[in-house]
Structure 1
Amino acid sequence: MPREAELSLNEREFILKALHENVRLDGRAFDDFRKLDLTFGDEPGFTDVKLGKTRVIARVSAEVMAPLPDRKFDGIFNIVTEFSPMASPAFEVGRQTDAEVILSRILEKAIRRSSALDTESLCIIAGSKCFQIRADVHVVDHDGGLIDASCIAVVAALQHFRRPDVLVEGEKVTVLSTREREPIPLAMLHHPLCVTISYYDSGAIMLVDADLAEEQVREGEIIVTMNKNGEVCQMVKYGGTPVDALALLDCTTLALKKVQAMTKYIHQKLNEDAKKRDIGGLMAELTAENER
């Protein structure tokens, strides 16, 4: 079975010794993220997130279908993850790894179960027609921090996406094109983001956004999901050595600062993209018609 390339004993000892001397190999402070780069595609709902060498692409799409029998007044929201074999030797087509299962569960709890997206606004005709919103997450490069990068990609894609408007005539539903009516942004109730904190020496050393080498030598991880208002959506700790309860409180305080900074960055990028797309309204449309 394919596995991730493991560090040698000398590399492990070198990283741990450096951490005990308050040094990270890439020169970052213990509470610093790697460089975050967020770009949007030509179509709404397409995001490309680079967190250091880690790269995640997310794409949001919409489709009209029948709602679930027990959710007649709600739309449907699904998150699908896919790991590319190019990203890591441990990933294989058709074989779901533990990392993929954990990523799917974290995103499910962080975004869908926290009601970040208002699914009632996706209802067209109760019990008959609704929008299904699907977020596809593709991991292209893996160098640690997959959960944080994937959550940023999905949340940014949902804010960037515009669903088509519909015309309802009795039981008949007509999906309008972008030329007939302006597409509608999704109703987001809040914007949750994940911050993964790796710990060493039973919690004495805490690192934010560990790279792949630091992840391989850590004793455990704590994943905090919260929004900019400080509302904790989830706190996850999968195994590892025990950590003091006060250390968990420190994690939430640290995560809040990072979430607020990332939320501000996402909004800045969204505003920049909106200005690029606003090319002058009707006059620009007439100019384009003349050019054709």
Structure 2
Amino acid sequence: MFMNTGLFEPGKTKTERKFIQQAVKQSQRLDGRKSGESRDVQLTFGGEYGSVIVALGNTKVMAQVTCDMGTPTTSRPNEGKLQLFVTLAGVSYLDLAQKTHDKRSLTLNSLLERTFRTSRCVDLESLCVASELHVWCLRVDINVLNHDGNLYDASTIAVLAALMHFRRPDVTFTDGELRTYAEKERDMIPLLFLHYPVSVTYCIYTSNFQPFVDPTLLEENCADSTIILSFNSYQELCTLNAGGTVPTDVRTIMQCARNAANRCKAMVAFIRKSLDLDEQQRLQGGTNKYAGMLGLMAKSSQQLSFKTLMKGDQKQQQQHKSEDMDLEVEAKPSLKLEEVETEDVENDQPAQEEQQQMDASGWLPQEPELEPTIDLTKQGPGKPKRKRTKANKKKQQQSS
């Protein structure tokens, strides 16, 4: 018997679509958020370097970074390798149908590769030990523990946090011998980054063309169009994915891009703060005894929230915005006075120019070579331009 996959995933039935469209028409969401408000992001670092769990609402993603020594490619002999692998084994309703499972994993994997590999966020040349012989090969495993919408944003945050948290062992290559040092012998070395990309997802509906950020699974499946933007900490666009039935306007895309750039910059600052807190905890000896998944699920692991850590920065941004608004309001009357002054100056300009012309007759050189250049600017009736003479010659030739 054929099993319909749409019955197992929320947001696929007609009644759910109608309900979400009516709620969006009134600019309301089921969890009480506004259209431009995103869910809280929580980070949990494991005992090993490079193990992170990201919770975006009820969406939970685990990322684990491992490294191994390998041989480089012939096209890029001085660069290391970065590989991404996505597994959706934690999502129960996607396991019922193999088509849906494979499609979601392939699309998510391709988007992550575009964000991190194609944009070249990691400095792969620093992973080279010996040219054409030995390079570091990084492998990032992304395991989806629970899917409640906006899986791509949670995965990008998890991958970036795992790569920034990862440390590789030190290696020396002398006289054709490769030696790797343990953590007790030498300190572990962090990865080098060229930029830090983070993605933001928007959904657009036919009932309301206003974009909704960070959609849940029900909102994501009922949406008519989606816009995925990836920015780095320098507010530079890395990737742009847009598709659906609703036509997107340039204004909506620019509006989404501005908000996404600010969101990505704040997210990178949050990851850096959380890494500093984790490093302080490690120096104090408060790391987990267990490694891998057990270390992340242990109660001793510290869970860091975006809203709690970034409260001060958000208040400062709001204060700067209010100060900018006050400055704009105060600047309006001064602009009017400047306009009045500019008008008076413009009215006085012809008199000043006449005075300058009268005074300049005494010190200007009276040479015969300069006289034709001055007369050409005046364009007298007896001295037409060269362009006019050429045009007249062409007309005479055509008439003849």
Give the number of equivalent residue pairs: 279
Listed one character per residue, the Cα deviations across residues 57-107 of structure 1 (whole Å, up to 9, x for unaligned) are 0000010011111110001111111111x3241236976522211111111
Q: Does residue 20 of structure 2 align to residue 5 of structure 1? A: no
Q: Does residue 70 of structure 2 align to residue 65 of structure 1? A: yes
CA–CA separation in structure 2 for the residues paired with 1:248 and 1:88: 34
CA–CA separation in structure 1 for the residues paired with 2:192 and 2:95: 35
- Could you tell me which amino acid in structure 1 is paired with residue 93 of structure 2? P
- Could you tell me which amino acid in structure 1 is paired with residue 194 of structure 2? L
1:45 alignment partner in structure 2: 50
Give the CA deviation at 1:202: 7.6
- SS class of match (1:197): strand
Moved more, 197-206 or 122-131: 197-206
Moved more, 48-57 or 246-255: 246-255
TM-score (norm 1): 0.91
Question: Which of the numbers 26, 35, 40 marks the counterpart of 1:35?
Answer: 40
- SS class of match (1:194): strand
Go from structure 1 to structure 2 and tell me whether the alpha carbon gap of 1:94 and 1:118 turns closer, same or farther (over 3 Å shift): farther
Give the CA deviation at 1:145: 0.7
Q: Is the strand fraction higher in 1 or 2?
A: 1
Alignment of 1:66-215 (within 5 A): 66-84=71-89, 86-91=90-95, 96-201=101-206, 204-215=209-220
Moved more, 47-56 or 242-251: 242-251
Q: Is the helix fraction higher in 1 or 2?
A: 2
Listed one character per residue, the Cα deviations across residues 98-118 of structure 1 (whole Å, up to 9, x for unaligned) are 221111111101111111000
1:285 alignment partner in structure 2: none
Select the structure of larger CA radius of gyration: 2
The answer on whether the counterparts of 1:2 and 1:90 sit within 8 Å (CA) in structure 2 is no
Go from structure 1 to structure 2 and tell me whether the alpha carbon gap of 1:145 and 1:183 turns closer, same or farther (over 3 Å shift): same
Listed one character per residue, the Cα deviations across residues 166-186 of structure 1 (whole Å, up to 9, x for unaligned) are 021122111110011001000
The answer on whether the counterparts of 2:204 and 2:246 sit within 8 Å (CA) in structure 1 is no
**Structure 1 spans left out of the alignment, 5+ residues:** 281-292
- SS class of match (2:248): coil
2:22 alignment partner in structure 1: 17
Q: Does residue 234 of structure 2 align to residue 229 of structure 1? A: yes
Give the CA deviation at 1:209: 0.6
The answer on whether the counterparts of 2:22 and 2:207 sit within 8 Å (CA) in structure 1 is no
- SS class of match (2:185): coil
Go from structure 1 to structure 2 and tell me whether the alpha carbon gap of 1:164 and 1:121 turns closer, same or farther (over 3 Å shift): same
CA–CA separation in structure 1 for the residues paired with 2:194 and 2:172: 25
The answer on whether the counterparts of 1:2 and 1:89 sit within 8 Å (CA) in structure 2 is no
Give the CA deviation at 1:20: 1.2
Moved more, 119-128 or 239-248: 239-248
- Could you tell me which amino acid in structure 2 is paired with residue 33 of structure 1? S
Moved more, 200-209 or 228-237: 200-209
- Could you tell me which amino acid in structure 1 is paired with residue 158 of structure 2? A
* Aligned-residue CA RMSD (Å): 1.8
